[in-house]
Structure 1
Amino acid sequence: MMRRATAGGADPVNNPLRTSFARWRNLALVSCLAAASFAPLDAADARTRYRSYDRPKKKVEAPAPAPLNRPLFFVVNIGKQRVTAYSNDGIYAQAPISSGSRGHATPTGIFNIIQKNRHHRSNIYSGAPMPFMQRLTWSGVAMHQGALPGYPASHGCIRLPYDFASRMFNATEGTERVIVAKGDVVPMPFSHAKLPEPAMLQAPGSEQIASISGRMLANAVNIAEGASATDAQKIDVKAEVPDSANAGSKLLNPREYALTMTKIAAKTADEAERAASPARRAVEARVQEQRVAATDLRKAQIALSVASNRLDAADKRLSRVGDNETKRTEAEAARAEAETKVKEAQTQIEAAERAKADKDEAAAVALKAFRQLDVTRSQAANSTLFWKRRLAPVSIFISRKTQRLYVRQNYIKVFDVPVIIRDPGKPLGTHLYMAMQPVKGGSVEGAPKLRWLSMTLTEPSQDLAEPRTRRRKGEEEKPRPVPNVSASSALDRIEIPEEVEDKISEMLWSGGSIIVSDSGISNETGEYTDFVILTR
Structure 2
Amino acid sequence: MRFTFGLGFAIALSASAAFAAGEQAPLQIVVSKDQQSLVVYDGNTVVATSNVSTGKAGHSTPTGIFSILEKRRFHKSNIYSNAPMPFMQRLTWSGIALHASNHVPSYPASHGCVRMPDAFAKQLFKMTGRGLHVLISDRQLTPVAISDPFLFQPKTEEPELLSDATLRPSISHVHTQSVEVATIELPPEKPAPAETEKQPPIRMLITHRGPREITMDIQSLLNGLGYAAGFADGYAGTQTTDAIKAFQTAEKITVDGQMTPAFVEALYAKAGKGKPPNGQLLVRRDFEPLFETPVVIDRPEIALGTHFFQFQDIDATTGKGDWFAMTLDNTLSAPMKKRLGITVEEDPMAFNTAQRVLSRITVPDETRQRIEELLAEGSSLTISDMGVGQETGAGTDFVTVTRSRSKS
How would you bin the TM-score normalised by the shorter chain?
A: 0.5 to 0.7
The answer to which structure has the higher helix fraction is 1
Distance in structure 1 (CA, Å) of the matches to 2:124 and 2:322: 24
Aligned ranges 1:294-333 → 2 under 5 Å: none
In structure 2, which of residues 148, 153, 162 is the aligned counterpart of residue 192 of structure 1? 148
Where does residue 427 of structure 1 map in the other structure?
303
How has the CA–CA distance of structure 1 residues 77 and 463 changed in structure 2, closer, same or farther, with 3 Å as cutoff? Answer: farther
How has the CA–CA distance of structure 1 residues 126 and 398 changed in structure 2, closer, same or farther, with 3 Å as cutoff? Answer: same
In structure 2, which of residues 27, 35, 38 is the aligned counterpart of residue 83 of structure 1? 38
| Most deviating of 87-96 and 524-533 | 87-96
Aligned ranges 1:327-366 → 2 under 5 Å: none
Q: Give the SS at the match of 1:499.
A: helix
Where does residue 398 of structure 1 map in the other structure?
206
Aligned ranges 1:62-101 → 2 under 5 Å: 65-66=14-15, 67-68=18-19, 70-88=25-43, 90-101=45-56
Letter in 2 for 1:81: Q
Where does residue 385 of structure 2 map in the other structure?
518
How has the CA–CA distance of structure 1 residues 493 and 118 changed in structure 2, closer, same or farther, with 3 Å as cutoff? Answer: same
Where does residue 100 of structure 2 map in the other structure?
145
User: What whole-Å deviation, never above 9, does each CA across 1:214-270 have from its counterpart, x for those lacking one?
Assistant: xxxxxxxxxxxxxxxxxxxxxxxxxxxxxxx9535x8xxxxx6444xxxxxxxxxxx
Where does residue 451 of structure 1 map in the other structure?
322
Q: Percent same amino acid at aligned positions?
A: 38
Distance in structure 2 (CA, Å) of the matches to 1:142 and 1:463: 30
Aligned ranges 1:109-508 → 2 under 5 Å: 109-146=64-101, 147-200=103-156, 246-248=191-193, 257-259=196-198, 391-402=199-210, 403-439=279-315, 443=318, 448-461=319-332, 483-484=347-348, 486-508=353-375
Letter in 2 for 1:126: S
Distance in structure 1 (CA, Å) of the matches to 2:299 and 2:127: 42
How has the CA–CA distance of structure 1 residues 483 and 151 changed in structure 2, closer, same or farther, with 3 Å as cutoff? Answer: same
Contact 1:108/1:534 (8 A) holds in 2: yes
Contact 2:302/2:346 (8 A) holds in 1: no
Q: Give the SS at the match of 1:419.
A: strand
Distance in structure 1 (CA, Å) of the matches to 2:127 and 2:143: 20
Q: CA deviation at 1:71?
A: 1.2
Distance in structure 2 (CA, Å) of the matches to 1:530 and 1:449: 24
Distance in structure 1 (CA, Å) of the matches to 2:137 and 2:58: 17
Contact 1:398/1:405 (8 A) holds in 2: yes
How large is the Cα RMSD of the aligned pairs?
Answer: 2.6
Q: CA deviation at 1:516?
A: 0.5
Contact 2:304/2:346 (8 A) holds in 1: no
Structure number with bigger Rg: 1
* Uncovered stretches (5+) of structure 1, i.e. residues with no partner: 1-60, 203-244, 251-255, 260-390, 468-479
* Structure 1 runs (4+) greater than 4 angstroms displaced: 61-64, 461-467
Distance in structure 1 (CA, Å) of the matches to 2:381 and 2:44: 20
Distance in structure 2 (CA, Å) of the matches to 1:456 and 1:466: 19
Distance in structure 2 (CA, Å) of the matches to 1:401 and 1:139: 26
Q: Give the SS at the match of 1:405.
A: strand
| TM-score calculated relative to the size of structure 2 | 0.64
How has the CA–CA distance of structure 1 residues 501 and 94 changed in structure 2, closer, same or farther, with 3 Å as cutoff? Answer: same
Contact 1:428/1:483 (8 A) holds in 2: no
Q: Give the SS at the match of 2:321.
A: strand
Contact 1:429/1:517 (8 A) holds in 2: yes
Q: Give the SS at the match of 1:65.
A: helix
Contact 2:52/2:115 (8 A) holds in 1: yes
User: What whole-Å deviation, never above 9, does each CA across 1:315-341 have from its counterpart, x for those lacking one?
Assistant: xxxxxxxxxxxxxxxxxxxxxxxxxxx
Distance in structure 2 (CA, Å) of the matches to 1:89 and 1:439: 17
Distance in structure 2 (CA, Å) of the matches to 1:186 and 1:76: 10
Contact 1:99/1:156 (8 A) holds in 2: yes
Letter in 2 for 1:247: A
| TM-score calculated relative to the size of structure 1 | 0.49
How has the CA–CA distance of structure 1 residues 119 and 399 changed in structure 2, closer, same or farther, with 3 Å as cutoff? Answer: same
Distance in structure 2 (CA, Å) of the matches to 1:63 and 1:504: 34
The number of residue pairs the alignment matches comes to: 280
